[in-house]
Structure 1
Amino acid sequence: MADNWVKAFQSAQMIRAEIAREILEQNGIAAVIVDKKDSSYPIFGMYEVHVPASDLSQAQTIITNEGALNESE
């Protein structure tokens, strides 16, 4: 991964991170999920969706416009 990758979305729920990743990939943006959950205490930490830095603003716009991801956790 030669590009600089940055966090575009985070959630405490893996399914929401997976949905965000899938939506971004359907819109032509490469995305990966980074598991930041604590292995000893899984109530701490988040699942983060990272995208190339060059695609961050477009990714944030797509995520913001996606109603299913905007609900509070």
Structure 2
Amino acid sequence: MEANWIKIYSTHEWFKAELISHLLEQEDIDLVQINKKDSSYMSFGTIELYVHNVDFTKAIEIIVLNEE
């Protein structure tokens, strides 16, 4: 992954990562989703979302507004 990406979200639950990814993509925010879940035991590991540092503030606002 190139420089200037910031982790903005991490979860153990696949559906939450997909929801946040979809919301960010609707706002034209480029993101990278890294799945660190263990392939044998899906209860271990996380899914992490990264955005460019210029989109950090907007992405966090979107996440906070949709977690209420």
TM-score (norm 2): 0.81
Structure 1 gap segments, 5+ residues each: none
Provide the secondary structure at the position in 2 that maps to 1:8: strand
Query: What is the root-mean-square deviation of aligned Cα atoms in Å?
Result: 1.8
TM-score (norm 1): 0.76
Q: State the Cα deviation string for residues 26-62 of structure 1 (Å, max 9, x = none).
A: 0111112111113354322111111111111110111
1:38 aligns with 2:41: no
Structure 2 gap segments, 5+ residues each: none
Query: What's the counterpart of residue 17 of structure 1?
Result: 17
Alignment length (residue pairs): 68
